[in-house]
Copies of this chain bind each other. A is one copy, B any other.
Amino acid sequence: MEPARLSLNTATVRQRWTLRQCIEGCARHGIGGIAPWRDMLAACGVEEAARLIVGHGLTVTGLCRGGMFPAATAEGRRQAIDDNRRAIDEAAAIGAQCLVLVVGGLPEGSKDIAGARAQVRDGIAAVLDHARAAKVPLAIEPLHPMYAGDRSCVNTVAQANALCDELGAGVGIALDVYHVWWDPDLPAGIARAGRERLLAFHVCDWLVPTRDLLLDRGMMGDGVIDIAAIRAQVEAAGYDGLVEVEIFSRDHWWQEDPDGVLRTMIDRARTCV
């Protein structure tokens, strides 16, 4: 895959580069897209970021992230909804192809995962009109089951598809191989999602051993995920967008020079994606 078909999720180099540096770095390496995180976007300024992104001709494959809907109190849930509306506005301002939703886990003190899932559905429903009006598709990202407690109670593509069925137009799926590679129902879930729902495709790799639940993702090719096979399924379902690289790697890639990380990304995209 050529670098023009890649997108850089800014988390991959966030320890060393600002958003401006990420944008300029993508342009320098011929990477076609970018997916900023909101804190880096805020630090740059939304208008300035939009100007830089357009100026360098980058596609914005997503804004990370909305979500985090479940809360122990009605006030907490209301605040989450307000924050998601702001995230939708930011996504629209930078022309993002979607707002990625990391939907949230169990509210503080709760063991009611079914209740949390209902709060997620209700939260997305509450912001959906705003998203439709802003023409920002909401991309539910199923997260690996090891995050069910604290980050996302949506853990499979089947769950995300069911939410899309229930919520209707304006909601789709961000598929990250890291979260779903283990799922025996993945091929069926991707086929069922289809072109319309597949809003983003993220890659990295699952290392064996994995030393940290959050910050030990691998570069494509260094782990056990058959990324090419999953990409083939996604493209067979009609996805023709960019392939976004998102690697949280505290002890390895975050320690490297970002230009080197981008070169490795590009190299691996040719051979392992």
**Contact A149-B113, Cβ < 8 Å, known A156-B184, A159-B184, A184-B159:** no
Interface string of A150-183 (1 = CB under 8 A from B): 1001011011000000000000000000000111
**Contact A145-B113, Cβ < 8 Å, known A150-B209, A224-B106:** no
Closest residue on chain B to residue A147 by CB atoms:
B182
Closest residue on chain B to residue A207 by CB atoms:
B149
With beta carbons under 8 angstroms apart, the residue of B144, B155, B184, B225 that contacts A111 is: B225
| Chain B neighbourhood of A182, CB < 8 A | 113, 145, 148-149, 153, 155
**Contact A210-B110, Cβ < 8 Å, known A156-B184, A182-B155, A184-B159:** no
Whether the pair A149, B208 counts as a contact (CB closer than 8 A) is: yes
Q: Is A206 an interface residue (CB 8 A)?
A: yes
Q: Is A226 an interface residue (CB 8 A)?
A: yes
Q: How large is the interface on A (under 10, 10 to 19, 20 to 34, 35 or more residues)?
A: 20 to 34
Closest residue on chain B to residue A146 by CB atoms:
B146
**Contact A183-B111, Cβ < 8 Å, known A106-B224, A208-B150:** no
Expressed in whole angstroms, the Cα–Cα distance for A136 and B105 within the complex equals 40
**Contact A224-B144, Cβ < 8 Å, known A117-B184, A184-B159, A210-B213:** no
Whether the pair A146, B149 counts as a contact (CB closer than 8 A) is: no
Expressed in whole angstroms, the Cα–Cα distance for A210 and B183 within the complex equals 22
- Chain A interface (Cβ < 8 Å from any Cβ of B): 105-106, 110-114, 117, 144-146, 148-150, 153, 155-156, 158-159, 181-184, 206, 208-211, 213, 223-226, 229
